[in-house]
């Protein structure tokens, strides 16, 4: 409690002589500096809103337009064609101003209106330009004149120094595909997985849907598309994520790893110091909008940045029917979990950001704290790992007032969550492959009570200096968090660095207040609910069969030599591996981004196509290399075409999903709209540089037909077989020598 008393700005006591008021100048100074930092952020936010609001113009361009209009008027010309005079007649203060003043004011007003009109026109032109997607369908290295002209126009209207959100108002809205086109593409994707009778039945249902209910549902979607920024994203967030009543852990949350082969320091507190400081640096750049907008690499086409808004200071709040996402404008601390205890760690002091060395010092203070957890405090976070309804009920009943509410508010309003693990993880020891799998499972679900799965993300720091993260999925998709994590790791290792002893660089201010321990009052009934949630989460975690497979000497470089898209190459390899594993094909979903559109998130690419199946059957059937190569390229081109269609708003599943939601609102049932099973494999892959690919394979122990390790081996073999098939054939030296001798004899 001593730290709490020191933090009070003033104290008073009532005595017979009156009220004795005591002020703490140090505490008041901290309050002043914290408020000053907050106001600086508000001013920066206001300035950025102005700059973004007038982009691709700039605030200074207004002055240029005003001077140009006044200079033109000075030459006794009227660039407004009489509008300035009309404005002058209707000025409300015309009687109190001289004629010259009225003329200047009218000219300034006209100049402002002209400037705003020019901004609107430029934005409209850029929006129309960004609606063109023909460039995506052109062959690599063969750019048409139309696309060249289009690219030049985009550069002209894109401005020079965009902030993070500068292009948001210029991005086109996601188009609503025609029902007949979506139905046609759906039937094409489903044909190869159905028998003749099943396909005939589905075709009948599709035609009935297209001619009757589908058109009615489509009308509502078009109406929504005219009104909303994106006709999919809000429903996708609500119905796919927030209304899900099952556990977030494993089912929704995902993870990010540390470097596999490098650990910058073995000191846990030091790694935490650099990692947390790098997170703060990224947040500062985010708040100032100094992060450049993401773009498609080929022609620098901007992508939507809306998902970046909720990276920090965001928590998913459980509800009995639906959850909600709450985002706070700022938070100056993080919540830290260690050995069953929760702490508040302030990351700012005296109006400034703590240095890495100071954060290391504070983290070490937590690690050295010998106090034990109270009752079931250690397992409290299991509530966030179990089903959502019990957590919502427990939150309402036991955490809506008193000390529990204050401590829960501290966690939920934190910038992010930090878990300090006593375990050592990583690709190490006598069983590096097995340890790597355990490392991934630790990041995915931990012990089911040592991650706060509701926070936008949790930074995990292990005893041996390894780190990682676990991220909640509803607020954004994985590429957003991947960009953050890439920045954090590179800043940690290559910018901040460590001393020779492995500690963070810098000094520690002597006036730093220590981290504050959070307290709880958990009754027996709440303890029972925590145990029930933990049992649900533990069962789910134990059922996860996970395998991480790094493949060296195989990456983007090897695939490029085959002149095949790396994504298409890997997706076809997955089809080949699954066919060898199960002897059949199955519906396959690959996520594609739709961030070319405003507030776009993802679309599904159905990568199991008739072309890929034909190739796999030919390869396994012993067809010649020439035939297999031709079929492989055909399958790769088809996959690329489907991927491009998904990126440009011509996918299948998001449109069907929204039609399904509208049908539920209207109380209409359609046999055509159905769900998909989840008893297969989940495969995530990351291409690292030119010579490495990491595969993350998951399935369930409860499914007897699946085995992550066996499927991983099948994928690796499929990749190598395809690489051998598509690699340019090297000339046989013996044959070349024989040909040379024959030619020599002919010459003789």
Q: What is the pLDDT of residues 406-457, one digit of tens each?
A: 999 999 999 999 999 999 999 888 889 999 999 999 999 999 999 999 999 9
Strand partners, 590: 605
Q: Which of 473, 503, 655, 696 is catalytic?
A: 473
Please identify which residue in the block is written with the tokens 């996708």.
236
CA distance 406 to 383: 17
If you ran DSSP here, which 8-state letter would residue 241 be given? I
Question: For residue 398, what are the CA distances in angstroms to 520, 522, 678, 700?
Answer: 10, 8, 35, 34
Burial class (CB in 10 A: 0-12, 13-18, 19+), 47: middle
Q: Give the pLDDT of residue 4.
A: 44
Taken in order 143, 145, 147, 148, the sign of the CA dihedral is: positive
Low-confidence stretches of the chain (pLDDT < 50) are 1-8, 731-733, 735-737, 739-748
Indicate if 248-544 has the same CATH topology as 180-230+552-726: yes
Between CA 43 and CA 52, with CA 46 as vertex, the angle to 5 degrees is 140
Coil, strand or helix: which one is 607? coil
Tell which CATH architecture fits domain 180-230+552-726: 2-Layer Sandwich (3.30)
Structure tokens at 365: 């203070």
Helices marked H in 250-351: 268-287
Give the residue extent of every domain in the chain: 10-49, 55-158, 180-230+552-726, 248-544
Spatial distance between the Cα atoms of 578 and 613, rounded to a whole number of angstroms: 11
> Is 473 marked active-site?
yes
What b/e string do you get for 430-444 counting C-beta neighbours within 10 Å, with b at 16 or more? eeeeebbbbbbbbbb
Tell which residue, 326, 278, 309, has the closest CA to residue 459: 278
Provide the pLDDT for residue 50.
85
Distance CA 465, CA 442 (A): 15
pLDDT of residue 72: 86
CATH code matching the domain that covers 248-544, chosen among 2.30.38.10, 3.90.1150.10, 3.30.559.70, 3.30.360.10: 3.30.559.70
pLDDT of residue 32: 73
**Quick one: which H or E segment has residue 417?**
strand 417-420
H or E, element range at 10: strand 10-15
Task: Give residue 548's region: left, alpha or beta (phi > 0; psi -120 to 50).
Answer: beta
Which residue from 182, 9, 122 is spatially nearest to 645, judged by alpha carbons?
Answer: 182
Q: What is the 3-state secondary structure (H, E, C) of 382-396?
A: HHHHCCHHHHHHHHH
3-state secondary structure (DSSP) of residue 338: strand
- Could you report the per-residue pLDDT of 583-637, keeping only the tens digit for each? 999 989 999 999 999 999 999 999 999 999 999 999 999 999 999 999 999 999 9
């Amino acid at each position: 409690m001593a730290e709490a008393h020191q933090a009070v700005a003033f104290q008073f006591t009532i005595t017979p002589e009156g009220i004795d008021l005591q002020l703490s100048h140090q505490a008041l100074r901290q309050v002043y500096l914290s408020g000053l930092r907050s106001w600086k952020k508000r001013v920066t936010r206001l300035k950025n809103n102005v700059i973004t609001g007038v982009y691709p113009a700039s605030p200074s361009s207004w002055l240029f337009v005003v001077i140009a209009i006044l200079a033109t008027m000075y030459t006794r010309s009227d660039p407004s064609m009489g509008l300035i005079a009309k404005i002058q007649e209707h000025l409300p203060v015309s009687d109190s101003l001289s004629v010259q003043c009225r003329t200047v004011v009218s000219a300034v007003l006209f100049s402002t209106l002209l400037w705003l009109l020019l901004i609107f026109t430029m934005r409209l032109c850029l929006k129309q330009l960004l609606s063109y997607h023909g460039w995506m369908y052109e062959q690599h290295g063969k750019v048409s004149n139309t696309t060249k002209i289009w690219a030049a126009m985009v550069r002209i209207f894109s401005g020079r120094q965009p902030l993070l959100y500068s292009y948001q108002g210029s991005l086109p809205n996601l188009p609503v595909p025609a029902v007949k086109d979506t139905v046609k593409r759906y039937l094409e994707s489903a044909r190869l997985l159905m028998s003749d009778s099943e396909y005939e039945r589905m075709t009948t249902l599709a035609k009935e849907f297209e001619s009757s209910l589908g058109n009615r549902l489509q009308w509502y979607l078009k109406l929504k598309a005219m009104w909303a920024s994106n006709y999919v994203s809000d429903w996708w967030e609500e119905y796919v994520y927030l209304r899900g009543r099952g556990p977030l852990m494993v089912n929704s949350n995902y993870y990010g790893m540390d470097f596999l082969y490098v650990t910058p320091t073995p000191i846990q507190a030091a790694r935490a110091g650099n990692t947390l400081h790098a997170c703060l640096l990224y947040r500062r750049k985010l708040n100032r909008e100094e992060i450049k907008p993401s773009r498609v690499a080929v022609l620098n086409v901007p992508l939507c940045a809306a998902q970046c808004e909720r990276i920090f200071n965001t928590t998913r709040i459980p509800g009995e029917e639906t959850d909600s996402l709450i985002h706070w404008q700022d938070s100056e601390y993080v919540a830290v979990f260690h050995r069953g205890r929760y702490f508040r760690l302030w990351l700012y002091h005296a109006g400034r950001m703590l240095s890495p060395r100071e954060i290391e010092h504070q983290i070490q203070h937590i690690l050295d704290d010998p106090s034990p957890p109270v009752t079931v405090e250690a397992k409290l976070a299991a509530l966030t790992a179990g089903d959502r309804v019990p957590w919502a009920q427990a939150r309402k009943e036991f955490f809506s007032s008193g000390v529990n509410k204050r401590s829960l508010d501290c966690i939920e309003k934190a910038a992010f969550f930090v878990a300090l693990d006593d375990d050592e993880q990583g690709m190490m020891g006598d069983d590096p492959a097995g340890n790597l799998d355990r490392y991934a499972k630790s990041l995915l679900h931990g012990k089911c009570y040592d991650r706060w799965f509701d926070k936008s993300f949790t930074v995990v720091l292990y005893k041996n200096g390894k780190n990682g993260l676990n991220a909640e999925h509803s607020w954004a998709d994985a590429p957003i968090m991947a960009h953050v994590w890439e920045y954090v790791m590179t800043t940690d290792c290559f910018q901040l660095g460590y001393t020779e002893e492995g500690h963070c660089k810098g000094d520690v201010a002597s006036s730093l207040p220590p981290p504050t321990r959070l307290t709880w009052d958990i009754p027996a009934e709440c303890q029972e609910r925590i145990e029930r949630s933990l049992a649900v989460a533990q069962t789910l975690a134990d059922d996860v069969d996970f395998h991480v497979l790094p493949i060296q000497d195989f990456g983007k470089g090897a695939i490029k030599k085959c002149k095949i898209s790396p994504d298409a190459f890997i997706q076809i390899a997955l089809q080949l591996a699954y066919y060898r594993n199960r002897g059949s094909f199955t519906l396959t979903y690959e996520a594609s981004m739709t961030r070319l559109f405003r507030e776009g998130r993802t679309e599904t690419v159905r990568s199991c196509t008739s072309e890929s199946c034909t190739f796999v059957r030919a390869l396994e059937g012993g067809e010649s290399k020439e035939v297999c190569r031709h079929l492989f390229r055909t399958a790769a081109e088809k996959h690329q075409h489907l991927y491009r269609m998904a990126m440009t708003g011509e996918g299948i599943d998001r449109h069907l999903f929204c039609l399904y939601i509208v049908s539920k609102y209207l109380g209409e049932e359609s046999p055509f709209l159905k769900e998909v099973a989840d008893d297969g494999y989940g495969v995530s892959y990351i291409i690292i540089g030119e010579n490495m690919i990491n595969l993350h394979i998951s399935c369930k122990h409860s499914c007897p037909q699946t085995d992550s390790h066996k499927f991983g081996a099948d994928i690796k073999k499929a990749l190598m077989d395809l690489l051998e098939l598509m690699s340019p054939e090297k000339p046989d030296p013996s044959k070349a020598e024989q040909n040379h001798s024959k030619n020599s004899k002919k010459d003789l």
